[in-house]
Amino acid sequence: MKERWVEFTKKTDFDRWSHELNVSKLVVRILLNRGIDSIEEAESFLYGSMDSLADPLLMKGMAEGVRLLAKTIREGGKTAIVSDFDDDGIFAGEILYEGIRNCGGEARLFTPNRVREGYGINERIIDEAKNARCSLILTCDNGIAAISECAYAKSLGLSVIVTDHHEVQYEEGQDEEKRYHLPPADAVIDPKQPGCAYPFRELCGAGVAFRLIQLLYREFGVPKETETALYEYVAIATVADVVPLRGENRILVKEGLSALHQTKKTGLLALIEACGLTREALTAYHLGFVIGPSFNAVGRLSDVKLAFSLLQTEDREEAGRLAKEIRDLNEQRKDETERGTQEALSILKNASYRDDRILLIRLHGIHESVVGIIAGRIKEKVHRPVFVFTDAEGGLKGSGRSIEAYHMMDGLIPQKGLLSRFGGHAMAAGLSLPEENLEALRENLNRACTLSERDLTPVVKIDARVPLRALNEKVVEELSVLQPFGTGNPRPVFAMAHFKIRGMRVIGKRQNVVRLTLQDDLGGIMEAVHFGAPEELFRLIREEFGEAELQKALHSSENKIDLGFTFYPEINEYKGHKSLQIVCMSYCRIS
């Protein structure tokens, strides 16, 4: 896929920033490249703590929500926590469950059935909550679009608190003024709702739930160490829900990772071990690509109660059994995702709509729980918004993943007449619709789309041109202050335009890793590794330099290959031996 490489060139008083922040000039450059415009903002980014979080009472609806929840607990009422089946919903639900119980309250968790009911609170859950003698319904990671459901709960005499982080649905009047539709709850807590004064809008559902419980703990005088026990849950949910790791999210993940490195939670320890990890070595990467997907697989392929059972058990033997079951479900999810991705790519290759700016792909026989992951995989390959659909009861269910230039919910809202149900935010959405409406949705979305060719060309943002001789272990250590890396705070990207390949071979259990020896045009030599499809790299080399040159590189012979690589440095540790290497991220021929 064609890419645009863009090098940042922001200017400032590097000496002053470096001195006042106690970091290298290279780190200063990267901070500037992340949109940090002042030393004060940089200090918050680098050294912010839980004390730096805004007052949760600034969140619209928070005071009313805490008051009602505290009243329910004091009067001996039971709270029905209505969660979701993904990571964010699971951990938001667990935060509320443990929080209420630690304040002496009684709570019960309810989740929708992913296949039969889909996302969010529904009348079946409300009826069960009423029959279980709950007096309060408390949603998490859902509810902001549940207008009729909240009205139904109120009609049964139940109080309702909505905690969510998704976009509020709206319609545009003839005056182009947005008219927002909020659920008729006793309290609506969502930093994205109109009129909310909370300064950080990008919390995930678990982050919103955590801020609620912080106030509840303050109300009941719960010790600080009980609050810190929730940091781990917020960190996993924040990374797994792919919200930007900036501002308060960055602080929550940093503090959560620190807590995870010392965790004593029986269930989390069991899953960490089952996944072949150690708590001390956990990074944001492991939360996003190992721990998070394992919990997510439960809600996708099984009953989410399994995840709550793991989080709540204190029995090591039971935890080990549950952790292995969850790990195996994730392996099953990986297989299903790979099968669906290959089928989607095959369909797209010959489809009449393959050049659409917004892609809608229908699959058959694929579990609806993995269509979102498949959409994300396809989006990464084609760099355009992608919706993937599969057959479901009453029509089709789909999930979409977007690119920065396209707000997915803003695109869907005008098409709500074609949809049975939908919800989401800028970068992702879920929807259901009658089968016969799929083509109309495809036509309408593409007709209304204003994406340009420039928008559809992925941009590789380069922080600096760094020769290999300038890299050492000290540089890697300096860069570590920028962690955790993730959405909104990507790993630093360096580049050089001309590398010779002095040797190259394919390694790994699945033969999907390329190990290289690279030499830049200043004479620096270093070992490198590329985690990606080897055949794509080989195809580029064949096209640009010929098969003979490729074979020479594979046999460590002198060759004429000359490629630009983007990369980042890391310390490779193998059998107790440490060495510096670069991880190659993308490549192209630069003339």
CATH of the domain at 167: 3.90.1640.30
Residue 334 makes CB contacts below 8 A (sequence gap 6+) with none
Whether residue 474 sits in one domain with residue 393: no
Whether residue 203 sits in one domain with residue 78: yes
Residue at a domain's end among 224, 258, 292: 224
Residue at a domain's end among 203, 224, 245: 224
HEC string of 354-405 equals CCCCCEEEEECCCCHHHHHHHHHHHHHHHCCCEEEEEEECCEEEEEEECCCC
Whether pLDDT at 1 is above 70: no
Whether residue 211 sits in one domain with residue 136: yes
Whether residue 479 sits in one domain with residue 396: no
Residue 180: inside a domain, yes or no?
yes
Identify the H or E element spanning 587. strand 577-588
Residue 240: inside a domain, yes or no?
no
At 369, is the pLDDT very low, low, confident or very high (cuts 50, 70, 90)?
A: confident
Whether residue 517 sits in one domain with residue 369: no
From residue 368, how far is each of 288, 293, 333, 525 by CA, in Å? 21, 16, 11, 48
Whether residue 505 sits in one domain with residue 386: no
CA distance 291 to 308: 14
Give CA angle at 200 (197, 201), nearest 5°: 85
CATH of the domain at 513: 2.40.50
Whether residue 565 sits in one domain with residue 504: yes
> What is the pTM for the complete model shown?
0.88
Whether residue 537 sits in one domain with residue 422: no
What percent of the chain stands above pLDDT 70? 100
Between 2-6, 45-49, 189-193, 527-531, the lowest mean confidence (pLDDT) is in: 2-6
From residue 513, how far is each of 29, 525, 530, 532 by CA, in Å? 31, 20, 6, 6
pLDDT score, position 488: 87
pLDDT score, position 258: 96
At 170, is the pLDDT very low, low, confident or very high (cuts 50, 70, 90)?
A: confident
pLDDT score, position 67: 98
Residue 46: inside a domain, yes or no?
no
Dump pLDDT digits (tens) for 389-438. 999 888 999 999 999 899 999 999 999 999 998 988 888 899 999 999 99
Whether residue 443 sits in one domain with residue 505: no
**CB-CB contact of 545 with 563 (8 Å):** no
Residue 484: inside a domain, yes or no?
yes
pLDDT score, position 453: 93
Closest Cα partner for 270 from 230, 307, 225, 229?
A: 307
Residue at a domain's end among 157, 192, 224: 224
Residue 484: cis peptide before it, omega within 30 degrees of 0: yes
CA distance 296 to 313: 19
Residue 241: inside a domain, yes or no?
no
Residue 273: inside a domain, yes or no?
no
Whether pLDDT at 556 is above 70: yes
Whether residue 128 sits in one domain with residue 204: yes
Residue 487: inside a domain, yes or no?
yes
Please give the average per-residue pLDDT across 173-185, as a whole number: 86
Dump pLDDT digits (tens) for 297-314. 998 788 899 999 999 999
CATH of the domain at 358: 3.10.310.30
Dump pLDDT digits (tens) for 233-251. 999 999 999 899 999 999 9
Q: Which residue range(s) make up the domain with 365?
A: 351-448
The token duo for 56 is 């949760």
Whether residue 467 sits in one domain with residue 440: no
pLDDT score, position 553: 97
Between 167-171, 229-233, 251-255, the lowest mean confidence (pLDDT) is in: 167-171
Whether pLDDT at 150 is above 90: yes
Please give the average per-residue pLDDT across 259-277, as a whole number: 97
Residue 322: inside a domain, yes or no?
no
pLDDT score, position 487: 86
Please give the average per-residue pLDDT across 549-556, as a whole number: 97
Q: How many domains does the chain have?
A: 3
Whether residue 583 sits in one domain with residue 479: yes
